[in-house]
Amino acid sequence: MAEFTMELNDDQKQVRDWIHGFAADVMRPAAAEWDEREETPWPVIQEAAKVGIYSLDFYAQQFFDPTGLGIPMAMEELFWGDAGIALSIVGTGLAAIGVVANGTEEQIGTWIPQMYGTPDDVKVAAFCSSEPDAGSDVGSMRTRAVYDQAKDEWVLNGTKTWATNGGIANVHIVVAVVDPELGTKGHASFIVPPGTPGLSQGQKFKKHGIRASHTAEVVLEDVRIPGNCLLGGKEKLDERLARARERARSGGGERVKNAAMATFEASRPAVGAMAVGTARAAYEVALDYAKTRTQFGRPIIDNQGVAFQLADMRTQIDAARLLVWRASWMAVAGRPFESAEGSMSKLFASEVSKKVTAQAVQILGGNGYTREYPVERMHRDSAIYTIFEGTSEIQRLVIARTISGMPIR
């Protein structure tokens, strides 16, 4: 296991510079157009696939980086380019994490390649957990999965919402209730293969930010999938449910994590890195603007009111990055998040991104409020980080429960 280091090695720097070049040369010039169109930027995803950024191999290499810094480094650079386009490029990754976290080796090998497709025929995947009445409250999930033993099939019914790539995905990963009496412990994840009858796209959402990323409802009406599309397999599920029932009868015992939370815990530091990328992008625009914009015969950065804001912005961005790197290293090193360090990284970085992008708009003044400058878009985009994959309030709840050992509500 690699020791923690504050410096990227030569290979990591080369990868970082490569991604940064793609973000600067391909993503940024297209960002305003796709934000206005509010459509999936298929041509940009295809370009990413052609150069190797949108591929299973690329994410596997970053995921298995022994320092743990491959994924956060890649996320920061892509989201520095543009958050909406970047989410379209990396959105498939959440579904892939769901398979890796809960699936068998055979399922991983079979389904993850189908999530990405090929450079000539790119595909995307969707992770479907949230519901109209069950966002942060996963215990209120209503989508049901019932096993048809005679046909060895699972039958799914329900509606998912806020699904990135929902309805346009080649592969959907759906979290559903298999035993309502067990609450969140009675959840499981399922693979819905391409073209499965009964799955359809519901409402497509018109969003405040990340508008180049497709977000929609996914409707499941008597969706039948083969038994081997249960992530992890039925034997493993039956054993887990039996343990949960026994613990419920005994009134305590070891906590059993549900399928959705296993996915979110693995992805929270990566979301923090996304937020760092957007914040850094806005900070850089504001810094350049402050050095060249003159008022009263001198650059506005000569004023402490502006200079001190930029100093705070840079300090907070660097602090957020360090929290993300720590959590990422702990995860790959097998260190338990004894103080909810994954949630800490996501909470702090997302709040920093909202604050820094707002400060960037303020520094640019009236120009910052127009779409002629990218900080307006970055400010809109940053709002999502404190909401998706666990709101800031939920992160604080997770941290508070972890450090106190109390069932705080």
| Catalytic residue numbers, as ranges | 389
Q: Which single residue is written with the structure tokens 């992770």?
A: 127
List the one residue out of 209, 195, 140 whose CA is nearest residue 167. 195
DSSP 137: -
CA dist 204 → 39, 119, 164, 174, 218 (Å): 10, 26, 10, 18, 9
List the one residue out of 165, 58, 166 whose CA is nearest residue 119. 58
3-state secondary structure of 122: strand
Instruction: Round to whole Å and give the CA distance between 206 and 121.
Output: 26
Q: How many CB atoms lie within 10 A of CB 338?
A: 9
Q: Which single residue is written with the structure tokens 């290979």?
A: 11
List the one residue out of 376, 394, 377, 319 whose CA is nearest residue 349. 319
| 98 token code pair | 């769901």
| 305 token code pair | 């009111």
- Which residues, listed in sequence order, are joined to residue 127 by a DSSP beta bridge? 173
Helix, strand, coil percent values for the chain (each to nearest 5): 60, 15, 25
Q: Are 95 and 286 in contact (CB under 8 A)?
A: no
Amino acid at the residue 374: P
